[in-house]
């Protein structure tokens, strides 16, 4: 699946259908224990080891968010 996720005024086109390598920048969908919503964090493959990660998205492209 491909979708757009907005984080800090940037739109990221992401996918969960491509192979992820150590060089790829990713968006981690982190599960919030007290809320029903998820938090999105941008990082590399080993940045969130041990965190309650719900899903990992590979960044395909990014553009400045239009308000």
Q: What pLDDT does residue 49 have?
A: 67
Count Cβ neighbours within 10 Å for each residue of 24-37 and write b for 16 or more, e otherwise.
eebbbbbeeeeeee
For the CA atoms of 2, 39, 27, 6, the dihedral, rounded to the nearest 10 degrees, stands at: 60
pLDDT tens digit sequence for 7-60: 888 999 999 898 888 888 888 888 766 666 778 878 777 677 666 777 888 889
Which residues form the domain of 58? 2-64
CB atoms within 10 A of CB 18: 12
Q: What pLDDT does residue 11 have?
A: 92
Q: Closest Cα partner for 15 from 6, 23, 7, 5? A: 5
**Residue pair 41/30 in contact by the 8 Å Cβ criterion:** yes
The total number of structural domains in the chain stands at: 1
């Amino acid at each position: 699946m491909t979708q757009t996720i907005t984080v800090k005024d940037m739109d990221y086109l992401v996918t969960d259908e491509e192979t992820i390598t150590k060089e790829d920048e990713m968006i981690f969908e982190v599960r919030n224990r007290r809320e029903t919503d998820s938090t999105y964090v941008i990082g590399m493959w080993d940045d969130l080891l041990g965190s309650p990660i719900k899903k990992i998205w590979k960044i395909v492209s990014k553009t400045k968010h239009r308000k």
